[in-house]
Each structure stands twice: as structure tokens, then as C-alpha cells.
Amino acid sequence: MNRLARLSLALAVLPLAACQTGGADRIASTPAPPAHAKNVILFIGDGMGISTITAARIYEGQKRGMTGEENSLSFEKFPQTALVKTYNTDAQVPDSAGTATAMNAGVKTRIGYIGVSEAATRGDCTTGKANPLPNTAEAAKRAGLEVGIVTTTRITHATPAAVYGHIVNRDWESDKDIPASERPEGCADLAQQLVAFPFDVVLGGGKAKFLGSAAGGERLDARTNLGHAWAERTGGTYVETAGALAAAPIGKPVLGIFSDSHMTYMLDRKPDTSEPTLTEMTAAALSRLGKGKGFYLMVEGGRIDHGHHAGQAGYALEEAVEFARAVQYAVDHTDPRETLILVTADHSHVLTIAGYPRRGNPILGLVTGGGEGAGTPDEPAIAGDGQPYTTLSYANGPGAVKGVRGAPDTSTKARQQALVPLPSETHGGEDVALFATGPGSEQVHGVIEQNLIATYIRKTLGLK
């Protein structure tokens, strides 16, 4: 074969060889099935957007005498991360009902819907009942697994309710909340749905939704006490204090409701409080779960969100620090070979970290530092209106300035200044972070739709 013939043959074979090599590469890069886990814990920091994580990281470090920026929260050390798109099917900026439904049902839905599809009509009981979305907790119970819920909000609030509930309006927490025109249609309120669900551990706030007026609650039947009725029917233990929770027998389901509405902010807790902390509730749940085939546990740091809505970043950051502490407890008290731990947020908030503060500047304080017009190391930066400004602020909310802007308050419980006046600061629409460790965590990477979190959990637990 002459030189020209050999060259022609080589050129003819080259595309085929390249194609074969590419095919081999594609086969080799096909991801392996996720590892199986006995247990899954889904931690949801309600409203814990990335700016909140950054600020909480600095806040926690500064509380421990560090400059703060170099600090890491417990879950930031997890090996796998992803960004999560949080929109609802009808909302660019979401609410907790639609986002929690996505994470539990594996399907996105409308703002304000819990465990029902977007095919339902808003506020219409009948269409809500006709369009339920099966959730992870139901699949877990069918497979013989245990189910637990821990939250610092009312346990009928949007995020915990999405674990067990199906309702077309997140505000229908008690029968009194359902409009009179819809009550004849037979929709069970979220408190009723909770006590009908075969859970193993539920801990949080919201007693008023379970009690009639005779006991200081709001249910239509003045004599109602759904907690006591649940205990009598199931043989479980109903408790209302941290002491009673500690004394509750192991091996029986427990329902703990520790406050009339949401549980007390960490910054407002008194030394003699009877309420357990989020970490203490997480510890109690883990001590009661895991004795059987496995479990699914959802833990919500719900009052991070409420601190932001009030425009009080100090409250939100203190709640985020406690949330990180609860995550660390779970890491330390579960078998990493058996337990997938996921940490994420349902949505973000419009908290900003801005100015040019020096390294180690108090995260709740005034901007000082000397960089880019940011004042001197000892004097605060002055804005164009002649006033200093804080590192943290909000795009909207109750802290909006009216008239001439005064010097901002920098105390821990202060309300940060905001731009647009609103009675309650709003959620933010940017992506949130997802952190993962344990078997199945290799699924977590890239930029994902929020409903994939439910898919990860079900695949890892082997649920159908």
C-alpha cells in the first residue's frame, strides 16, 4: 500500500474510532445508582438563604471570639452541595407551602398549597381532595419505616404540614380557619390530619390549633383536645413541657406541643422556660427513632424565617446558629454509614450583606474599615445622607425608612433598615443551597429543581 492509500485509510477510520471512544466515555461516566440508607434526616432552615448562611457563619464565629469570616457552620463541612431552584408553579418568588410540598411530594405546586397538585382550585375544598399528591412520609410508613417531625413553628404550619398534610389552603390549620362555606365539603384541617397520621414522633408548637376555647384554644368545639384524644386512641404519650418529654416512655409514639403558637425565639428564651430547644427536640426524636427498619425525620428551624419577616436579622441569625447546632447533634449521634443527612432551605429572604466593612467587623454593626469610602478603621462609613449604615439590610420590610434616615440601631434585637416599606419583609427568589452527607449524598450536585430532593430521599430509602 502506497503512502497516499495509507493516509486515506487512516482518515476513513478516524471518525469511527473517535465515535467508539466517545461512546466508551459516556458509558464509563454513567452515574452509579445511589447508595441505600437506612435513615434520612431532612433539615430545613426556613428562609435560610445563602446570605443568611454567610451572616450566620460570621455571627457564630464572632460569638466565639473569632473574626468570623473564616468560620464554618456544621453543615458547611458536608462533602456534597448543590443549588436549588425554589419557584412555585405560579410564583417566581415562592412560599413555604409550595416549596415544602416539592421537597416531600416530589412535585412542584402552587403557592399556598400543601400536598395537593396545581390542578386544584385555590380555596376550593372539593378540588383539593380530588388532587392529592402522595408524599414521602406516607411511602415510608407503607414500607414499615418510622416517621418524625420536629419544628420550632406550629406543627400545623406550612413546612411541617407538608410532611403529612393535603390541603388547598395552608392557613386552614384548625377547623375554625376553614371558611363556613367550605366546611360542609368535608376537608379536614391540618391539626386533624396530623393526629390521623401514623407518626412516631412529632415535636413543636401550636397548641391553640388542637384545643377548644374551654382550654384556651380556637377549635369550634369548645371541649376539644386533639392531643389527649390522640393519646387515648393510639396509646401514645402527649406532652407539653421539656421535662415531660424527657420522661416519656421509649417505644411508644410521642406528640409534644410546647407553646400556644410558634415556639419562643432563642433570643427571648427565659432560663426557666419549659420549652425544649431545637437541638433538644432533635435529640429526643433521634432517641426514639431508629429502633426498627429505619426512619424519615424532618427537622425545621422555622423561626429563621420569622426573624427575617420582622426585619430583625439578629433573631434570624440566632435561630440559624441553633439550627446548625441541631445538625451537628444529628451528625454526632447517627451512624454515617446508615444515615443520609440533607440540609437546605425552602426559600431565601431579601437580606443583603453590603458596604466595605473591615475583616471581623461586627456583622450586626455599622460598616467601618476604610475600604472604598467605608470610613476609617475606627470610624463608621458615612452615606450620602450624612448617616452611617449597617452591613446587613433588607430590600423591603417594616424597617423601611420614612422621611429623613436616622442612624441605624445596631443592638442584637434591632430592626435593620430597609428600602421598600412593607408590613412584613418578603421571601427572596434566588436559589438556595443543599448540603448532603452519608449514603446517597453523591446524588447532590449541580443546579437542581427543588422537587428532586424528594426523589433523592425516596431512592436512597428504597421507597416506591
Catalytic residues: 96
Phi-psi region of 123 (alpha: psi -120 to 50; beta: other; left: phi over 0): left
The three-state secondary structure class of 42 is strand
Burial of 113 (0-12, 13-18, 19+ CB in 10 A): buried
Q: Can you name the residues that pair with 172 across neighbouring β-strands? A: none
Q: Which has the closest alpha carbon to 344: 457, 175, 198, 213?
A: 457
Residues 322 and 326: their CA atoms lie apart, in Å, by 6
Report the chain's terminal Cα–Cα distance, integer Å. Answer: 62
Supply the angle between the helices 96-105 and 452-461 in degrees, to the nearest 10.
30
Contact status, residue 319 vs residue 301, Cβ threshold 8 Å: yes
Bridge partners (DSSP) of residue 447 are: 83
* Region label for 376, one of left (φ > 0), alpha (ψ between -120 and 50) or beta (otherwise): beta
For residues 274 and 243, the answer to whether their CB atoms sit within 8 Å is yes
Q: Cell digits for 380?
A: 463608621
Amino acid at 219: R
| CA atoms of 381 and 365, how far apart (whole Å) | 11
Beta bridge partners of 380: 368
> In 10 A of CB 380, how many CB atoms?
23
